[in-house]
Each structure stands twice: as C-alpha cells, then as structure tokens.
C-alpha cells in the first residue's frame, strides 16, 4: 500500500523532472537568444550578465542593415513561398486520395511517403547540383524550392490525409445527392472545412523551407537564402550579430509552429479536441 504510494510519488517526480528538463532544453537557448538580441553589443560580450535584456536594438538594427541580409531574406521568402505552394498543390490531392479512395499499394504508398524523409540529402546534393547546372536551375529560387518541396511534401501529404479523413464522407455524399458534382461538393463542403488545416499545413511547409540550410548552401551561390547566408557570413561575424541573426531566423518559425501546433498533433494521430 505505502510502497505503491511511494512508487507513484516517485513516478510523478520523474515525470515532472523530465518535463522540466525538456522545457529547459528547448526554452533555454531561445531565452538566451532573446536576451542577447535585445541587449547592447557591449552587454553581450560583457560580464556580469543580466536576466532581463536592456531592449537595445543596436544589434538587430546592425544585422538588418548588414550587407546582403535584405536580399537573403527576400530569397528565403521567395523559396519558402514557392515551397509552400508546391507542397499544397501536390500534397493535398495526394492526401485526399489517400483518405477517400481504395487503391492497390495504398499502405505501401503511405510508407514510401515517409521513407523519402529517410533518404539522406547529402547523398543527393552533388548529383542534384550537377543536374541543376545542366538544366539551368542552379542558384534559382525555383530550383531550391523544388528540393525543399520534396522535404515538405511528406508532411503535407500526411497532414492533409488526416484532415480529409476527419471529414465524414457522408458530408460529400449528401452534397452529391443534393445536386453537386464531385468537384462542386469538394469546393462547397470539403474545402471550407479543411481550409484552416490546409493553411496550417502550408505554414508548416513554409517553415521547413525557411529552416533548411544544407540544400540551400549547396545549391545557391549568389542567391543565398537567409540560413545559407548566415551560415557562411556569421561564422566570421561578431557575437552580437550572431545572436541577432539567430533570433531573426528562429522567430518566424517559432510563431508559425505555435499557430499550427494543433494540426501537427493531428498528423501523428494525437487528436487535440
């Protein structure tokens, strides 16, 4: 009896401790990033440290005005937007087909979709670069977006699959009996219902592209995305600039992921109702 209670109390401590540790693991660096980005350059390198930033924008301002940042930012936005559009245009129909139609090799297809993530990108990088140079896609936003789309597509397919599966097929059938063609039923009934989820899935694809650095570094030279640019430039930059760059990079991803978290849970079958 008391053994059991002790055991349970220990279990609670263990769970609590693990949660705390994991939170610290994620939030610690983000906090430091935040703290140092909003501190004056002298405070970043100085000692002792303060727990609260001085809300000095010098580092951030210097970073924004830094040669090449603006164009890299623009490239990142271009590539990420293209990735977002391509992932949804290709991924949503696949997700719909997976949820609504029975076809041979369906389960294999689902596994294959995931397996594409298991294929190491570095292995592909060199042949891809060579191929891109041949067809003229090298150093273009579209070329990089295509690679990012292959990275984002599995998630787009799985998220939209779970979205469409969450919509009773009877709603579509009811629309068909009420005078709709398949396409009309989709537009009038399914689309309004999945729109928030599709948006989330699109944002997720955007974030994947935004965060990706390896393919971006290999496949672009003049038209670097922000991640690739920072990787090469920040190495040789002063510390305040590194913090500012890291912060600018992390912030949109964090906000977006926070906004769409509900749908990311849904992807793994953990319904958040």
Partner 1 sequence: MAEIVIKGVAKTFGAFTALHSVDLTVADREFVVLLGASGCGKTTLLRIIAGLESASGGEVWIGGRRVDHLPPRQRGIAMVFQNYAVFPHLTVFENIAFGLRMQNLPMAEITRRVERTAELMHIEQLLKRYSGQLSGGQRQRVAVARALAMEPSVILMDEPLSNLDALLRLEMRAELKGILAESQTTTIYVTHDQVEAMSLADRIAVMQGGHILQAAEPIEVYRNPAARFVGAFIGNPPMNFLPANRGAGGWEVAGLPVLGPESGEALEFAVRPEDLRPAAKGLPAHVKIVEPLGPHLLVTCDVAGHGFRAILESDTSVRTGDLLHLAPLEGRARWFDLATGHSVPV
Q: Which of 192, 222, 269, 270 is close enough to bind partner 1 by CB under 8 A?
A: 192
As a whole number of angstroms, the distance between CA 245 and CA 110 comes to: 38
Question: Which one of the spans 35-43, 171-179, 219-227, 245-253 is the region binding partner 1 (CB under 8 A)?
Answer: 171-179
Give the nearer residue to partner 1 in terms of CB position, either 175 or 241.
175
Minimum distance from CB of 187 to partner 1 (Å)?
12
* 107 interacts with partner 1 by CB under 8 A: no
Minimum distance from CB of 90 to partner 1 (Å)?
26
Residue given tokens 């650095």 in the structure block:
213
* 176 interacts with partner 1 by CB under 8 A: yes
Q: Which of 105, 122, 179, 269 is close enough to bind partner 1 by CB under 8 A?
A: 179
Question: Which one of the spans 104-112, 127-135, 185-193, 199-207 is the region binding partner 1 (CB under 8 A)?
Answer: 185-193
Give Cα 94 to chain centroid, integer Å. Answer: 20
Give the nearer residue to partner 1 in terms of CB position, either 104 or 134.
104
Cβ atoms of 45 and 239 within 8 Å: the answer is: yes
Question: Which one of the spans 17-25, 28-36, 37-45, 176-184 is the region binding partner 1 (CB under 8 A)?
Answer: 176-184
As a whole number of angstroms, the distance between CA 147 and CA 126 comes to: 13
Q: Which of these, 253, 266, 254, 242, lies nearest to 33 by C-alpha position?
A: 242
Applying the rule CB under 8 A, the residues between 212 and 251 that interact with partner 1 are none
As a whole number of angstroms, the distance between CA 252 and CA 165 comes to: 29
Applying the rule CB under 8 A, the residues between 140 and 169 that interact with partner 1 are 168
Radius of gyration of the chain (CA): 23
Cβ atoms of 252 and 234 within 8 Å: the answer is: no
Question: Which one of the spans 3-11, 72-80, 187-195, 246-254 is the region binding partner 1 (CB under 8 A)?
Answer: 187-195
* 171 interacts with partner 1 by CB under 8 A: yes
* 178 interacts with partner 1 by CB under 8 A: yes
* 31 interacts with partner 1 by CB under 8 A: no
Structure tokens at 13: 């401590």
Question: Which one of the spans 76-84, 87-95, 134-142, 178-186 is the region binding partner 1 (CB under 8 A)?
Answer: 178-186
* 181 interacts with partner 1 by CB under 8 A: yes
Give the nearer residue to partner 1 in terms of CB position, either 53 or 166.
166
Give the nearer residue to partner 1 in terms of CB position, either 4 or 177.
177
Per-residue DSSP letters for 194-255? HHHHHHHHHHHHHHHHHH--HHHHHH-SSS--HHHHHHHHGGGS-HHHHHHHHHHHHHHHHH
Count other C-beta atoms under 10 Å from residue 45's C-beta.
Answer: 12
DSSP state, residue 136:
T
Minimum distance from CB of 227 to partner 1 (Å)?
38
Beta-carbon contacts of residue 83 (< 8 Å; ≥ 6 apart): 145, 148, 149, 152, 205, 206, 208, 209
Residues that bind partner 1 (CB under 8 A): 168, 170-171, 173-181, 184, 188-189, 192-193
């Amino acid at each position: 009896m008391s053994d059991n209670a002790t055991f349970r109390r220990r279990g609670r401590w263990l769970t609590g401790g693990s949660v705390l540790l994991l939170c610290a693991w994620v939030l610690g660096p983000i906090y430091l990033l935040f703290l140092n980005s909003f501190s004056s350059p002298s405070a970043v390198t100085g000692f002792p440290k303060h727990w609260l930033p001085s809300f000095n924008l010098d580092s951030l301002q210097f970073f924004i005005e830094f040669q090449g940042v603006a164009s890299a930012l623009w490239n990142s936005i271009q590539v990420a937007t293209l990735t977002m559009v391509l992932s949804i245009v290709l991924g949503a129909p696949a997700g719909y087909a997976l949820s609504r139609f029975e076809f041979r090799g369906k389960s294999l297809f689902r596994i294959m979709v995931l397996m594409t993530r298991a294929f190491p990108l570095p292995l592909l990088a060199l042949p891809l670069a060579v191929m891109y140079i041949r067809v003229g896609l090298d150093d273009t936003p579209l070329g990089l977006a295509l690679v990012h789309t292959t990275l984002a597509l599995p998630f787009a397919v799985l998220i939209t699959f779970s979205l469409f599966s969450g919509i009773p097929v009877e709603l579509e059938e009811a629309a068909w009996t009420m005078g709709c063609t398949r396409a009309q039923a989709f537009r009038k009934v399914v689309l309004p219902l999945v729109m928030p989820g599709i948006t989330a899935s699109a944002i997720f694809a955007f974030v994947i592209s935004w965060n990706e650095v390896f393919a971006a570094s290999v496949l672009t030279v003049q038209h670097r995305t922000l991640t690739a640019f920072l990787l090469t430039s920040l190495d040789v930059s002063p510390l305040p600039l590194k913090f500012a760059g890291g912060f600018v990079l992390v912030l949109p991803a964090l906000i977006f992921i926070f906004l769409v978290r509900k749908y990311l849970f849904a992807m793994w079958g953990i319904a958040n109702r």
